[in-house]
Structure 1
């Protein structure tokens, strides 16, 4: 179970736990040379952080082998996660150059344009921003647009609204055209912290490996994908889910998990495919441990809470134009996208672009 606590923190750590801790540290070394090259000249302070992180990883890897208690090894794992977050922040800095963001994918451009449109007019769906690339990244030649099979370039918002709403709030607070980037970045950092908190002690090093050691999630975050925001909510929703409703009561934890599931569904279509299986699994588990009527009632309450939390960010756009909201939210599902007809060269500071959005 994800929420199981280690009952003997002063006991000797297992060899597998030590191996995972060392693996977490080593995984952060991948790409460190490129990151150092991208920061040391233009951002020497961040370059110094990269160099210091290298030394810290060496020390922490040695400590993972040498410490004698599980509690001490958990501290080492937390330090490795902090180093991973620091390196990720350094990589975020390389995407911020004077005048524009060095984004390698058009999703961030659409996300930020949607956030700006909310602040200007309150609308989100039904509008197109064909000049978003030049407006948000003037002179940036590394943008890779998503091209449809009919030749059109995607220039409208095609996600549930919560990601754009959060980006709009961050943009309003900071005054900088980086709300979508910061929303995705904070989403990934929150995901890593939540994973570390909710995983069993022996598996906590996987938070650093999954979120920062592998390049997939950082690359998507730097491209400003709203799925990183949804991922943070999904981590809470699926954590220890078989225990939800134990004793035929949702309890505070069950309510929080249901609410987070609804917010995830209101952020990205990925959660749409997780939610039905989670709800069905909850009903099957509860039916196996109590009466069918009780299991159905509890699952209905869980689903109702998730539905309310999904409805809240969607309601303003539903009331404004139901058909436009529905078409915009469902648009990526039936719309096939081809690869870009040409791939522009990337600068050494930019992350590798993920594939076109679905």
Structure 2
């Protein structure tokens, strides 16, 4: 029964997370400490007050305003020790929330202000993830995605960086940043290189800009997954007795292209009016490859457990739906098939089995 799903029980079930930004998930207390070390001025120095500031500043209805909050987190992630600490704490926090597999992304090019090289940045983050995963009370595997900024001109360099570290924990590539005016086709060389290298990549698309961004990401660039992709709903008509899919929406569903949906973040940036009105409900009913994600835990004041609880409240989801979302994410992960299957069969399904019986 839906009414019997308690938040504390949601925390305990295994979860898979595909869309989480490292610089969007710092602990407020860590930001305060690291800012003092590097001399960065913050809008507040009390951790609780600072945490509230991040959520409030991000809650603007604008993706551009939302992205401005990252100036403070990126500023304290410019040293190897700072990066390592943030990554370690990220793994610990996700494990404490019941996440057993996570892909956490970050943009190495944004962490060079204190003379680190791109490789040193990646090595520090990978080291932190390894430490946190080893220390966590609950088992967790963290894969890393390297992100290139779509307004910059370093995507080829970052793609090569990702491939260079593929055997050390980097499992994929991404581009991010403001969509309008910066189409993914500007980075075709990088995507073609990644395809030649048999390497996985996702693309932020269909969050703020709409169907053209999604179409380019898939049909021009060959994205394996869509980062957000929520605006695919613009190609679905709900005016008649049954929803009617346009050609792009039908293609995305037919090809089982995963959608990395982030409900709380989408409400903050104006991509959805509320959780209850978020297209995840319709997309799930239409059996798209829907996955549930956090995006930026600090800015949204959220966690995977909270995102699940919001869907339980908004759509009446039960354990069957939460299990479906979790398995979807694990199926869509950028690690080898046999490793995905092992987590599904040996971790996720056994944990949900007694809950589904009850």
The alignment's TM-score, normalised by the length of structure 2, stands at 0.30
- Structure richer in helix, relative to its length: 1
- Structure richer in strand, relative to its length: 2
Considering only CA atoms, is the larger Rg found in Structure 1 or Structure 2? 1
